[in-house]
Amino acid sequence: MDTNLTFQPPTTPIAKIARNVTSQRIVTPRDPDAYYFRSLEKIGIYLNEKQIEAVRTTDGPVLTLAGAGSGKTAVLTARAGYLMLVKNVKPQQILIVTFTKKAATEMAERISKIPGITSEMMGNLLVGTFHSIFLRLLRSVGYTHKIINNEKHRQFIIKKILKDMDINDEPEILLAKFNYMANHLILPMTAKANALVDQEVQEAFQRFMDYKEENNLMDFDDILFHTYQLLEKQQPILKNLQRRFTYIEIDEYQDTSVLQHVIMKKLALPQNNLFVVGDDSQSIYQFRAATNDIILGFPQEYSGCRKIVLDINYRSNPYIVGLGNEIIKHNKKRFEKNLYAVNETGKEPVYSTYETVEDEARHIIHSLKRSDREWRDHAILFRTHAVSREITDRLVLEEIPFVTYGKDELFYDNPIVKPILDYLRLSCDPGHWPAFRGILPSLYLSADRVIDYIGMNQKPGDLLLEKITDLPWISSNHREILTEKVAFIKQLREQQPVAAIQEIRNGKGQYTRYLLDRTTPASTLYEEIVEETLDELENSARNFSSVKEYLQFIDQVISYHEQMEKLRKQKNPNVVKLMTIHGSKGLEFPVVYLIGASESILPHQSSLHETDDRISVLSGEDKINEAIEEERRLMYVAVTRAKEELHISSLQTYRNKTIGISRFILEVFEA
């Protein structure tokens, strides 16, 4: 039976309503720049008092704290126009840096629409991402390196290095560590590296850098690192750039890495006309080497810094804004700020708890089908992909159109999940080539070598599985193990799906052991992700009585997902949007369902104990608190994506364990 308990908070947080006075009243005809603000009003841009202050503050270091939904893009673009049209700054003297190509394009389009901005001015104005701008710089001084823009290519290089070093580790984990080291200027074999990073990782990083240099290759981290080195060693180039870019604007400053910060700090000298916009409450990309310390330390780093707080939320109703305020105030490492709401009325957030993920998914589907809104008005947000598996399956069964955004990988295509499904497929269909190839690495066999050998030696009627016991290069011990594995695979189709998955994971299949053998002992986070993902795979099989039936359902899900993916190409498809909270950053939706708002999910289990996976100068309780505060910022980001309706659901049980409502919700209502 479904268990749906609506959590009734003792009080409902509500934000104060803003005194929404705009440029129409603030900027008077007597003001010398009134003509500019009147021109903005003609195209529908009405700035509030703090936004006007940010636009008018053109000289010196400026930190603009832009709360969720506070109109930061309008400020960045209006200020660029102000510099050119009011302060008569030449367009080529202005540098505007963003984190995504989409943001850069949108910003350039908005600036071009400001009355008085000509196409010639836009041609001289440089708006782009960190990587696009600095790659252009490197190319201009003779860097000819080919860009590695394929993640598989980077992993191929890492696998070769790991093999040469005779060590086990996951390429993805190692690349994440390299990313952190590069973006924190932690060079191999230095005192800083020795204090924070294992020697093996340092050596692998050095080999990775050497390989790229020897082969004239460069990845995205290298674009920044080579730029840093260029500016350090070539003072004439640095001086030339400093003379050219006398005004710099940086968007999403809370997502800046140490490396990006150091580069921009160099470029801004000596004038330091550096205008940075961001929200420390939305710093959620530590895994990408961003650090909240940079934006928090900006006022201390730049004497005379002007701090401007954009504290009026134009996006959400007052209950949603109020909830966001109450969630984030429990973080200790933050700038104090409280957002006001422009919208005076709206629906209160709905809090629900469910016994299981199945109950949660059923009720959300029921709610979606009852809604009188378009499908496109709804977004479902989640902390990890494993949490989204059940709701995705339900959307398929109910034939509700949906698209997954961000990392568009379906749960059943997850590289941790897929080999287990390949075992099941091969059990039912011994001639299934893709499945056969998919299981070979977990049998400690080179897929390419085995496929090549069988292709040359297979005879009519030969069974794929039987051939692996005949491989001439394997040891007698390995052959004996493979013989047992072949017999094991053949009998999987006779078992219940859950039992078969369990047997593959931790029984004769020893699949979990294989996964963890590929990582260093310190990879606690990876181990947690493996267990969470495979627990959810088991859960997905509980309603099926045969392996064949289970695989047919998965094929149905995959087929429907492929159909839905075609809708992604449409400009504004009428689909429910599914995405991680990380992927939702910068977006907004009329209706948001935040699922899995429970302890061990949000905050994630990995943040609740110290782990060496996260490289940090902190340790012990300080390191745990750092991780929990980032998880709370994740909750804040999720809540503040909602414009009109917010549904937050928690689970009572997850992965066969009893869990509670997320502390981030409960602490809001504590006396």
CATH number, domain containing residue 515? 1.10.486
User: What residue numbers bound the domain in which 196 lies?
Assistant: 146-215
> pLDDT (tens digit, 9 = 90+) per residue, 285-295?
988 888 999 99
Last residue of one domain, picked from the residues 257, 284, 310: 310
Assigned domain for 264 exists: yes
Q: How many domains does the chain have?
A: 4
pLDDT, position 517: 77
How does pLDDT run across 255-267, given as a tens digit for each residue? 999 999 999 999 9
Q: Which residue numbers belong to the known binding site?
A: 66-73
Average pLDDT over residues 96-103: 94
459 with 595, same domain: the answer is no
Q: How far is CA 489 from the centre of its chain?
A: 37
Closest CA to 386 of 416, 425, 422: 416
- What is the number of alpha carbons within 13 Å of residue 588 lying toward its C-beta? 14
Cα 82 to Cα 44, 119, 251: the distances in Å are 16, 16, 17
Shared domain check, 176 and 155: yes
154 shares a domain with 129: no
CB 515 within 8 A of CB 506: no
For residue 403, is pLDDT > 70? yes
Boundary residue ending a domain (532, 547, 562)? 547
For the residues 538-565, what does the mean pLDDT come to? 92
- State residue 17's pLDDT score: 96
Give the per-residue pLDDT at 634: 97
Instruction: Supply the CATH number for residue 202's domain.
Output: 1.10.10
The reply to whether 476 and 525 lie within a common domain is yes
Three-state DSSP at 3 gives coil
Q: Do residues 506 and 417 share a domain?
A: yes
Q: Assign residue 623 the CATH number of its domain.
A: 3.40.50.300
Confidence of residue 408 (pLDDT cuts 50, 70, 90): low
User: Are residue 507 and residue 531 in the same domain, yes or no?
Assistant: yes
More confident residue, 180 or 517: 180
Q: Mean pLDDT across the chain, nearest whole number?
A: 91
Is the bond preceding residue 415 a cis peptide, omega within 30 degrees? no
Known binding residues for ATP are 66-73
Dump pLDDT digits (tens) for 164-214.
888 777 788 888 889 988 999 988 878 777 777 788 888 999 999 999 999
Residue 434 pLDDT: 92
In this structure, the answer to whether residues 132 and 231 fall within a common structural domain is yes
What are the distances in angstroms from CA 461 to CA 426, 430, 439, 466, 467?
Answer: 16, 11, 21, 11, 11
pTM, full prediction: 0.90
**522 pLDDT exceeds 60?**
no
Q: What are the tens digits of pLDDT across the range 202-253?
A: 899 999 999 999 999 999 999 999 999 999 999 999 999 999 999 999 999 9
- d(C-alpha 10, C-alpha 466), whole Å: 65
